[in-house]
């Protein structure tokens, strides 16, 4: 149980384009989803927290107009990087917590999406 | 600002050795401490600790929390090359919204040589 998937796993795009990343909880209802980014050899930095059906809460320094988060259902959250630039190149990871799990506190991570902006 | 500090940052051991990883924290509204293992992709969950002094075990891995001294350790005994990974410590803290968020340490990179 507690499987989280992400799609795509790897994307290369041109500067100025927008990229959408999907995060799905496959076998549980994710009441809360989290989006992180990780630069090489650094730890995970929380970008935003989203609860199903409500607006995401962004961490300080994260531009909400650049990183659009939608959590429309209990199994799907999307992160759209708008007008991506090379400095947005990173590893983006989602995690989810929710109902029907042995521990509602634990976050379960997706496999991550490697974004490279040329 | 919440702080989670892991040590050492990296270590290299030989198969069969025992390793001890440390995680200390200074946070407000502590809820729990979690250990994750990160290999090539996203972290996989190892342990969640909420109470002091109660050891959690899973095979060759074990972990314990000291809420008075604000630290946790993760032990790996009889290490194998498959244990090579980055081990991340994260602390969950309550937020005003009644949700919580994780603050991660920088991780400890463990390399196990055959």
For chain A, what is the mean pLDDT? Answer: 89
Test B41 with A111 for CB contact under 8 angstroms: yes
Mean pLDDT of A75-86: 94
**Residues of A within an 8 Å Cβ radius of B:** 2, 6, 32, 34, 42-46, 49, 51, 57, 93, 95, 103, 105-112
Candidate from A2-6, A36-40, A104-108, B81-85 with smallest mean pLDDT: A104-108
Q: State the pLDDT at residue A43.
A: 81
Which band of pLDDT confidence, cut at 50, 70 and 90, is reported for residue A51? confident
Task: Please tell me the distance in Å from B46's CA to the nearest CA on chain A.
Answer: 10
Q: State the pLDDT at residue B45.
A: 87
The larger pLDDT score, comparing residue A85 to residue B97, is at: A85
* pLDDT reading at B12 higher than 70: yes
The larger pLDDT score, comparing residue A48 to residue A51, is at: A48
For chain A, where are the E strands, in sequence order? 4-7, 10-13, 19-25, 29-38, 45-51, 57-58, 67-73, 76-81, 90-99, 108-109, 113-117
| CA B43/CA B70 separation, integer angstroms | 23
Q: Give A-chain residues touching B88 at CB under 8 angstroms.
A: 43-44
């Amino acid at each position: 149980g507690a499987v989280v998937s992400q799609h795509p796993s790897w994307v290369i795009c041109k500067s100025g384009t927008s990229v959408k990343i999907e995060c799905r909880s496959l076998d549980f209802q994710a009441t809360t989803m989290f989006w992180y980014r990780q630069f090489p050899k650094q730890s995970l930095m929380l970008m935003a927290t989203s609860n199903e059906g409500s607006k995401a809460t962004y961490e300080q320094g994260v531009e909400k107009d650049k990183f659009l988060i939608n959590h429309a259902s209990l199994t799907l959250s999307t992160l759209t990087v708008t007008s991506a630039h090379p400095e947005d190149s990173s590893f983006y990871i989602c995690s989810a917590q929710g109902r029907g799990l042995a521990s509602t506190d634990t976050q379960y991570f997706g496999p991550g999406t490697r974004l490279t902006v040329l | 600002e919440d702080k989670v500090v892991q040590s050492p940052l990296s270590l290299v051991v030989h198969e069969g050795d025992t390793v001890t990883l440390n995680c200390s924290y200074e946070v407000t509204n502590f809820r729990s401490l979690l250990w994750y293992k990160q290999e090539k992709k996203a972290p996989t969950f190892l342990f969640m600790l909420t109470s002091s002094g109660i050891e959690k075990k899973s095979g060759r891995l074990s972990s314990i929390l000291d809420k008075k001294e604000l630290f946790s350790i993760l032990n790996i005994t009889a290490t194998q090359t498959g244990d090579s990974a980055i081990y991340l410590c994260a602390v969950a803290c309550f937020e005003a919204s009644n949700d919580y968020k994780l603050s991660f340490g920088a991780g400890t990179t463990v390399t196990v040589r055959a």
